[in-house]
Amino acid sequence: MERIAVIDFETTGLSPNSSCRATEIAVVMLENGRIVERYQSLMNAGVRVPAFIEQLTGISNAMLRTAPPAERVMEEVNEFVGCTPLLAHNASFDQKFWDFELGRIKRTRLQNFACSLLLSRRLMPAAPNHKLGTLTTFAQLPHTGQAHRAMADAEMAANLMAHLAQELRGKHGVRELNHDLLCKLQKVPAAKVGEHLQRYR
């Protein structure tokens, strides 16, 4: 499978705005089922971290005071990603923050996001739920560190994507696996996945 950039943000809330911003980003490059490169940074956007978010992520206001400015981090990570296709677990969340933070440095996303959450609902229907930690345990994938920290979650999502790629090849006989197929598959009703994948065998 082609190279994919797997992204995870930690944030101060659910929707980006002037008082809700990203606090950390990690990107891992997944190539042929293996992580080959990594980028991670805290990012100081000048907003306060609510106490419950600090408890969830372990990212404190004190940590962000010495972190690089969000604009500089986004310049670096945008250069790191380039035109590589994107993936995240619950991508609608990360896409909102990626687009918002890029917009602040006057950049525009050029590529689509694939979503390992949507894909896992279609390819791992027997899982108890489709949270990243649950799927990691269910598929017996490596635990990569503290949940709700960007690098640990990005690595977990990358490992999950590698597992889903194996499922597509092994169980469904998909020969040519690419990002465009993933983006199409995540929109297919679960009951029609087998029928849809026949054209890729």
Q: How far apart are CA 190 and CA 8, in angstroms?
A: 25
pLDDT tens track, the chain, 201 positions? 899 999 999 999 999 999 999 999 999 999 999 999 999 999 999 999 999 999 999 999 999 999 999 999 999 999 999 999 999 999 999 999 999 999 999 999 999 999 999 999 999 999 999 999 999 999 999 989 888 899 999 999 999 999 999 999 999 999 999 999 999 999 999 999 999 999 999
> How many other C-beta atoms are found inside a 10 Å radius of the C-beta of residue 102?
18
Task: Report the pLDDT value the prediction gives residue 191, as an integer from 0 to 100.
Answer: 94
State residue 104's pLDDT score: 97
Whole-model pTM: value is 0.96
> What is the per-residue pLDDT for 131?
96
Is-contact 86 112, C-beta < 8 A? yes
Domain residue spans of the chain: 1-194
Q: What does the pLDDT read at residue 77?
A: 98
- Confirm if 165 and 38 have CB atoms less than 8 A apart: no
Give the pLDDT score at 1. 84
Distance CA 151, CA 28 (A): 8
Q: Which fold has domain 1-194?
A: Nucleotidyltransferase; domain 5 (3.30.420)
Buried (b) or exposed (e) across 148-176, using 16+ Cβ within 10 A?
bbbbbbbbbbbbbbbbbbebbeeebebee
